[in-house]
Chains A and B, each alone.
Chain A
């Protein structure tokens, strides 16, 4: 594993493996415990496939009581646990540990309740993101966050990662669309946060659980808000001679008070790769291609299309096509949606990054990336959630060439450092996981990180749940709890006092 240090396996746990497996079979009878290396192979990695590790044992519980008993058992015996949904994490959030139980939630796959008058769905965590929409679409409803893995990714995993998607500019992230969860703490205690009402009665624990990457608790039930589908959607496909013009167009659209349902940008390498692959009819003589999708009542969409078209021309667009049919709208998206596999065709491997930047810094960051590309001798193609500044640079490399993966990872790390430098962040939607763990000090001081770890201490004081993820260095909770008091000096003598 290219230089990534994971927590040292606990000898006592490794020695007791047979006993632990036998106890797991008592807690989760039937087919729910997998311990043969061959069968565990399917779980050795998630969407970040560069890293692989067989777990101690795979456990697939079916009831909340089983989850509670597994966690309580592990907590009492100091055994680590890695929770997993569908395993689509792009940051290694579900990467197993050699000495940890891999707790797979895929058998929690039922929709428990649908309430149209109150517009909520209660689902078990293993239900897929798209599965929620499928359950309610006959009545014209849908679940808004749409990560690109939505066919496969689970709603429990969406909570863990605070997943976004193309539509989150207008409709929000997972955190804005989840109303409540039931979760099990490492102690085995079952806690409910929120419900079908709005906001928390005390501290916003649901807010901090969302995006906590499986380090705080295991989600066993999710209540989400559903929305009525917009009447219609149309898109514009706009080409620009420079990325600066594309970026300014995005700023002007927002400046005009328009929040599109989706607003995506691609750079020249990504445009060419996508066009070669799906023949979407993308212009090949532009440096930046913008897809702007407007959704809502037909009259609103028509009105806004006119406004966006004018803004595009004002910013020097060289091509601007407006979808005249649903088929044409989908063809605009076909290239963007196939961008990752398209890049996969022109390079043996690619490494997908996920920084977010203030939008106005786009030209500077793209220029920086071109320099880095020359420095490392690796190509890069960019797709960009333009509305919210979330960049997905795809670094092209060949894993069979010795040293290229390391080079790609260094290139990626430099891109993320650049994102932080211009006022952005390390990850917009893929999570820190193991991938960006060691870059956290680029963004946070030790004091910042210590306070985050203290949150972890309140939920899981023994650091047993998904250790080795998110935080570059684990510190014991007892040590973190110590106070360093500098003595009772009076504060700034010149502060006004009354």
Chain B
């Protein structure tokens, strides 16, 4: 049982090459903030990238940042904030939900888990902002893809292939992301007291307007009290975030108020209070209860989310809230059984998508597919791709099984 902690990409290469030659699998680790996601690993050795760290290039005017993969996300976000910029895809922090401390996680982990946040609707996920990578494949070979420019179609986009690969294709050593200006102003419009179906209709109306809503979430009754230190109170809150330059935000909020004036009582929440709410929605804080009650992250057609939950409630005790206009459903199974087959069956009936069991006891994670099972032809294609990158199954073996 050895933990390797390389500080250079050359050391990563030699470590992986050694593991390939020994046919000895490695667990690939950054800070370990998402270690609880996926099938539990039982590898003899660990490759800890947390000391492969440092921002190697940051040019604000070029909107580009490169860093070694083990660089702390918090450090990068701080550096960007000092320059009025941000990772626009707003990567979530799984720490609180999984019983860890907040503020952990590496930039490599951001890509490997394809993180995003409430702004996913408008700004995309990590996959949409990654420009280039350097990696070591499970063949023990270092290769690169992409570059440091935004527009690039030279060869296959191998960088996107790393998104959501959970360390099973290659070990990231360097990543280059597109960065963007942070909004000058943000204001959230909250509609209070809506039931799920009315909230879905209100969010669709708002997103279908030219108000450029960047995030739309619905926190049902009681869930609303579990964000931002209870500042929203108990009543259901349907939240619409508007960001940009001051005069534009004021104008668009006014337009939304006119559009949604009849939907329910409206509240405006500005500045830090708004930021806190969206941070907690992003990080699934309503279910960050230090328990092992199963939590699902379901991505589906926005308008179908609440309907699926309605059907699910008839057969299981669940708590639910919605982000991405209803297209991201967070579910906590209150009776302790993940009900994987039931949920995935309902998901198929409601337009399809994918359900990931992001929190569960190790026994459940070992026994159930944590990631959405794929149809046979697609599963076979994914397996062939894994073979082309990691033929000896050295990297995080079985994690996505």
Which of the 9-residue segments A36-44, A79-87, A251-259 touches chain B?
A251-259
- Complex contact A458–B2 (CB within 8 A): no
Nearest-neighbour CB distance to chain A for B162, whole angstroms, equals 8
> Given known contacts A303-B247, A487-B21, is B303 in contact with A118 (CB within 8 Å)?
yes
B338 at the interface (CB under 8 A from A): no
Complex alpha-carbon distance, A498 and B158, angstroms: 33
Residue in B120, B209, B351 whose CB lies within 8 Å of A228: B209
Contacts of B82 in A (CB 8 A): none
Complex alpha-carbon distance, A389 and B388, angstroms: 33
- Complex contact A432–B153 (CB within 8 A): yes
Contacts of B116 in A (CB 8 A): 199
Complex alpha-carbon distance, A212 and B154, angstroms: 9
Complex alpha-carbon distance, A491 and B47, angstroms: 12
- Complex contact A208–B157 (CB within 8 A): yes
A497 at the interface (CB under 8 A from B): yes
B35 at the interface (CB under 8 A from A): no
Please, how many residues of chain B have a CB less than 8 angstroms from a CB on the other chain?
105
Q: Which residue of A lies closest to B19 (CB)?
A: A491
Q: Which residue of A lies closest to B14 (CB)?
A: A491
- Complex contact B161–A207 (CB within 8 A): yes
- Complex contact B158–A455 (CB within 8 A): yes
Binary CB contact string for chain B from 365 to 378 against chain A (1 if under 8 A, 0 otherwise): 00000011011011
B314 at the interface (CB under 8 A from A): no
A368 at the interface (CB under 8 A from B): no
Nearest-neighbour CB distance to chain B for A104, whole angstroms, equals 22
Complex alpha-carbon distance, A211 and B145, angstroms: 13
Complex alpha-carbon distance, A397 and B385, angstroms: 44
A168 at the interface (CB under 8 A from B): yes
> Given known contacts A359-B61, A429-B153, A452-B158, is B381 in contact with A458 (CB within 8 Å)?
yes
Complex alpha-carbon distance, A480 and B27, angstroms: 26
- Complex contact A175–B128 (CB within 8 A): yes
B337 at the interface (CB under 8 A from A): no
Contacts of B303 in A (CB 8 A): 115, 117-118
- Complex contact A258–B181 (CB within 8 A): yes
B264 at the interface (CB under 8 A from A): no
- Complex contact A390–B139 (CB within 8 A): no
A348 at the interface (CB under 8 A from B): no
Residue in A119, A300, A431, A455 whose CB lies within 8 Å of B245: A300
> Given known contacts A175-B128, A203-B164, A487-B21, is B141 in contact with A451 (CB within 8 Å)?
yes
Binary CB contact string for chain B from 272 to 301 against chain A (1 if under 8 A, 0 otherwise): 000000000000000000000000000111
Contacts of B143 in A (CB 8 A): 445, 447-448, 450-451
Residue in B248, B301, B386, B391 whose CB lies within 8 Å of A303: B248
Residue in B3, B11, B204 whose CB lies within 8 Å of A118: B204
Q: Which residue of A lies closest to B324 (CB)?
A: A198
> Given known contacts A425-B152, A444-B155, is B139 in contact with A203 (CB within 8 Å)?
no
Count chain A CB atoms within 10 A of each CB in B154, B160, B328, B378 and give the residue with the most.
Answer: B154
A299 at the interface (CB under 8 A from B): yes
Complex alpha-carbon distance, A191 and B61, angstroms: 41
Residue in A176, A360, A431 whose CB lies within 8 Å of B62: A360
Residue in A185, A196, A228 whose CB lies within 8 Å of B381: A185
User: CB within 8 Å of B: which of A236-266?
Assistant: 251-252, 254-259
Contacts of B351 in A (CB 8 A): 195-197
> Given known contacts A296-B212, A426-B154, is B381 in contact with A205 (CB within 8 Å)?
yes
Nearest-neighbour CB distance to chain B for A233, whole angstroms, equals 12
Complex alpha-carbon distance, A389 and B151, angstroms: 8
- Complex contact A428–B152 (CB within 8 A): yes
Complex alpha-carbon distance, A424 and B150, angstroms: 10
Count chain B CB atoms within 10 A of each CB in A162, A231, A390, A491 and give the residue with the most.
Answer: A491
Complex alpha-carbon distance, A498 and B10, angstroms: 19
Q: Which residue of B lies closest to A228 (CB)?
A: B210
Residue in A258, A385, A483 whose CB lies within 8 Å of B151: A385
- Complex contact A297–B248 (CB within 8 A): yes
- Complex contact B62–A199 (CB within 8 A): no
User: CB within 8 Å of A: which of B214-251?
Assistant: 244-245, 247-248, 250-251
A488 at the interface (CB under 8 A from B): yes
Count chain B CB atoms within 10 A of each CB in A201, A296, A432, A449 and give the residue with the most.
Answer: A201
- Complex contact B180–A175 (CB within 8 A): no
> Given known contacts A196-B351, A203-B385, is B157 in contact with A211 (CB within 8 Å)?
yes
Contacts of B374 in A (CB 8 A): 201-202
- Complex contact B149–A356 (CB within 8 A): yes
- Complex contact A198–B120 (CB within 8 A): yes
Residue in B125, B144, B158, B324 whose CB lies within 8 Å of A208: B158
A326 at the interface (CB under 8 A from B): no
B327 at the interface (CB under 8 A from A): yes
> Given known contacts A191-B378, A300-B251, is B153 in contact with A207 (CB within 8 Å)?
no
Contacts of B180 in A (CB 8 A): 259
Residue in B127, B245, B354, B377 whose CB lies within 8 Å of A191: B377
Nearest-neighbour CB distance to chain B for A452, whole angstroms, equals 5
Complex alpha-carbon distance, A430 and B143, angstroms: 24
B5 at the interface (CB under 8 A from A): yes
Complex alpha-carbon distance, A74 and B325, angstroms: 44
- Complex contact A229–B210 (CB within 8 A): yes
Contacts of B154 in A (CB 8 A): 425-427, 432, 436, 440, 443
Residue in B61, B184, B327, B400 whose CB lies within 8 Å of A202: B400
Contacts of B244 in A (CB 8 A): 296, 300
Q: Which residue of A lies closest to B392 (CB)?
A: A483
> Given known contacts A172-B128, A258-B181, A488-B18, is B149 in contact with A495 (CB within 8 Å)?
no
Q: Which residue of A lies closest to B148 (CB)?
A: A423
- Complex contact A117–B208 (CB within 8 A): yes
Contacts of A470 in B (CB 8 A): 155
> Given known contacts A118-B303, A205-B381, A388-B151, is B354 in contact with A197 (CB within 8 Å)?
yes
- Complex contact A491–B18 (CB within 8 A): yes
Q: Which residue of B lies closest to A494 (CB)?
A: B11
- Complex contact B125–A199 (CB within 8 A): yes
Contacts of A457 in B (CB 8 A): 384, 388
In addition to A190-B377, A458-B385, 14 A-B residue pairs with Cβ atoms within 8 Å of each other are A118-B204, A173-B151, A175-B128, A197-B301, A197-B354, A203-B164, A204-B114, A204-B127, A257-B84, A385-B151, A444-B155, A451-B137, A485-B20, A488-B21
**Could you tell me which B residues sit within 8 Å of A by CB distance?**
2-7, 10-11, 14-15, 17-18, 20-22, 51, 59-64, 84, 114, 116, 120, 124-125, 127-128, 137, 139-145, 147-158, 160-161, 163-165, 169, 180-182, 184, 204, 207-210, 212, 244-245, 247-248, 250-252, 255, 299-303, 324-325, 327-328, 351-354, 356, 371-372, 374-375, 377-378, 381-382, 384-389, 391-392, 400
28 contacts between A and B (CB under 8 A): A117-B204, A172-B128, A191-B381, A196-B301, A199-B164, A203-B165, A205-B382, A208-B160, A210-B160, A228-B209, A254-B181, A259-B181, A303-B247, A356-B150, A358-B59, A358-B62, A423-B148, A427-B152, A443-B147, A443-B154, A444-B155, A448-B144, A455-B158, A455-B161, A457-B388, A481-B388, A487-B21, A495-B6
- The 8 A-B residue pairs with the shortest CB-CB distance in the complex, in nearest-first order: A207-B160, A300-B248, A201-B354, A257-B181, A491-B14, A428-B151, A201-B372, A197-B353
**Could you tell me which A residues sit within 8 Å of B by CB distance?**
115-119, 140, 161-162, 164, 168-169, 172-173, 175-176, 185, 189-193, 195-205, 207-208, 210-212, 228-231, 251-252, 254-259, 296-297, 299-300, 303-304, 356-360, 385, 388-390, 423-432, 436, 440, 443-445, 447-452, 454-459, 470, 481, 483, 485-492, 495-498
